Amino acid sequence: MTQKKIEIFLLAAVIVVAVFLRFWQIRNYVVFLGDEGRDMIVMREMIREKRPTFLGPTASVGGFYLGPIYYWMAAPFLLLWRFDPVGPAYFVAAIGVATVILLYKFIRDVGFWPAILASSLYATAPLILRYSRSSWNPNPLPFFALLLIYFLYLGIKKQKFIHFLLAGAAFGVCIQLHYLATILLAIAAPVVIVNTNFRKWPLFFILASSGFLITFAPFLLFEIKNGFPNFQTIAEFVTRGTTVGYKSTNYFWIISNVGNIFLEFLTKINGTAVTRIIFWTLAASGIYGLAKFWQSPDKKLIFSIGVIWFIGGLAGLRFYTGQIFDYYFGFMFPAPFLLAGLTVSLVWFQKAARIATVATTVAAIIFFINNSPLRFPSNRLIDQTANVADFLIEQSGGEPFNFGLITDSNSDHAYRYFLDVKGAKSVELETLVTEQLMVVCESQKCAPLGHPIWEIAGFGRAEIAGEWYLGNIGIKVFRLTHWPGAPNPAGKPAIKGQ
C-alpha cells in the first residue's frame, strides 16, 4: 500500500470513528431539560410564525442574552426532523465531525502524522464528545473558534484579504454562542502583531470588523432598537464585585492552575500529576518550537497560534469573575490538540520518538473511549419527557389545564414544549385559571398543596384529585382541583403579585 493510500485510509478511519461516536444512539443520549426545551419553543415559534428572532438564549449567569445565531442555525434541523428535539442535536453532531476534519486540515501543514494523531485524540476525547451530541448554544463554539483561527492563519500566510473578512465573520458567530469567546479577540490580536507588518494592521482591522458586523448585525440591530439593554447588563456584570474567580496577579500560577483544570476536564484524568505533565510538555514544546522557527515565517505563524491560543486563552480566564465550568473552555477546546500536533512535529524525525508517540496516542484513545459518556446508560430524556406529556394529556381528560413543575434544578420548558407539540389544552395562568392543575414532581419531596411556586400558588387553594407515580421514570404526577371551601378563581387570569 502506497503512502498516499495509507494516509487516505487513516483519515477515513478517524472520520468514521468521529461520526460513529457522535451519531450512535444520539436520540437516546440527548440532554433535553429546561434550557433545551426553552430553545425548542423559540425555534418552533420562529418556524410557525415565519419570523426570525433577533434575541438568543439567556447566558448562564448575569441575566443578559446572547445573539440569535444559534437559533438561526439549528431551527432548520428542527423543521427537518418535524419538531423532534433530536434534529438540532444532529446539527451539533455534524459540526463536531467538521471540527475534527478542520483540525486535521490545519495541522496537516506541518505533517500528516502530527495531524492524524492530534485529530484522532480530538475525535475521541470524552469532554469533546459529550458536548458534540446535544443541542445547546455553546456546543458549536469549538468549530467556529477553530474556523476563526484557521481563517486568520490563511489570511496571514496567503495574504488573501477575504480570509480576514471570514475570520471576523466567524468571530461574530463565536460571541453569540458564548460571551467568553470574546477572549478570542485578545488571542487574534497578538497573532497578527507577531506575524505581520504593522502597516497592514488598519486594513486587517477594517476587513475583520466588516466580517464581524455581517454576522453580528441581527443582535446589534436589536440592541440599537431597544436602547442597548444587554450591552448595559453585560457592562454591569463585568464591573460588579464578586468573591468568586481568580484574584491573584501571579499569571504563572494562574495559567498553570487553569491549564491543569482544563486538561482534567478534557481527559477525565483527575487528581494526578499526569495532566500537569501534559500541560508543561505542551507549553514548553510550543515555546521551544516558536523560538526554533522564529526566522521561518510559516512555521513561526502556526507555532505562535498554538502557543498564544493555548496559553493566552488560559490567561484570559483570569479576568472572568465567576465559577468556571467545563464548557466555558469551549472557545479553546481545539487549542491543546493543535499544540499536541505541533509537539509531535518537533520529534517525529526520531524513530524512538515516533514509536513512543504512536503508542501514547493509542493508549490515550483507548482510555478516552473507556471513559466515553457512551459507556454509561442512556437517559432517554426526549422519550421520557414526551411520555410524561402524553400522560398529562390523558389524565386531564382532554379538558383545559394549567401546568406546574416541582423540581430542584430544572425548569418546565421541556414539558411545555411537548405539550404544545402534541396540541394539549395547556393554558398559562396569566391567560386563564382552569378547573384543574396538572403538576409534575421531579423532587424527592413532593407536596404540591401550598407549594410556593407561582404555577401552583397562582392556581389558588386546591385539593388533590389524582396522584400517580411513574416508576419507570421516577417522578410523580398530581391532578389538583380547586378547594370547594374557597372562592373559585377559575375563568379569570391569575395576576402575579396579588
SS3 content of the chain, % helix, strand, coil (to 5): 65, 5, 30
CA atoms within 13 A on the CB side of 374: 20
Angle at 420 between CA 416 and CA 425, to 5 degrees: 100
Say if CB 151 and CB 170 are below 8 A apart: yes
Element (H, E) at 104: helix 86-107
Query: Which grid coordinates belong to 314?
Result: 488560559
Residue 32: φ, ψ to 5°: -135, 85
Q: Which residues of the chain have pLDDT under 70?
A: 1, 60-62, 237-249, 321, 497-498
44 vs 163, 387, 400, CA distance in Å? 34, 20, 22
| Helix 413-421 / helix 381-395 crossing angle, nearest 10 deg | 60
Write down the H helix ranges in 196-273: 201-225, 229-239, 251-267
Give 131: exposed, middle or buried? Use CB within 10 Å, 0-12, 13-18, 19+: buried
The predicted model scores a pTM of 0.93
Interatomic CA distance for residues 167 and 61, integer angstroms = 27
Query: Grid cell 374557597 — which residue?
Result: 486
Predicted pLDDT of residue 243: 45
In one-letter notation, the amino acid at residue 450 is: G
CB atoms within 10 A of CB 162: 13
Predicted pLDDT of residue 239: 64
**For 431-458, what is each residue's pLDDT tens digit?**
999 999 999 999 988 999 989 999 999 9
Those residues with Cβ within 8 angstroms of residue 211's Cβ, 6 or more apart along the chain or in another chain:
164, 165, 166, 167, 168, 169, 170, 171, 172
Give 387: exposed, middle or buried? Use CB within 10 Å, 0-12, 13-18, 19+: middle
Kindly state the DSSP code that residue 377 receives in the 8-state scheme. P
**For 96-137, what is each residue's pLDDT tens digit?**
999 999 999 999 999 999 999 999 999 999 999 999 999 999
Those residues with Cβ within 8 angstroms of residue 425's Cβ, 6 or more apart along the chain or in another chain:
396, 398, 399, 400, 401
Write down the H helix ranges in 125-200: 126-130, 141-158, 162-177, 183-195
Those residues with Cβ within 8 angstroms of residue 115's Cβ, 6 or more apart along the chain or in another chain:
103, 104, 105, 106, 107, 108, 341
Interatomic CA distance for residues 172 and 207, integer angstroms = 13
Say if CB 451 and CB 415 are below 8 A apart: no
284 vs 263, 280, 303, 471, CA distance in Å? 16, 6, 12, 54
Say if CB 126 and CB 371 are below 8 A apart: yes
Query: Which grid coordinates belong to 9?
Result: 485510509
Say if CB 304 and CB 295 are below 8 A apart: no
Query: Grid cell 387570569 — which residue?
Result: 493
Query: Grid cell 437559533 — which residue?
Result: 71
Say if CB 133 and CB 99 are below 8 A apart: no
Max Cα–Cα distance, the chain, nearest Å: 87
Predicted pLDDT of residue 248: 58
Strand order across the beta sheet in which 462-470 lies:
402-406, 436-441, 475-482, 462-470
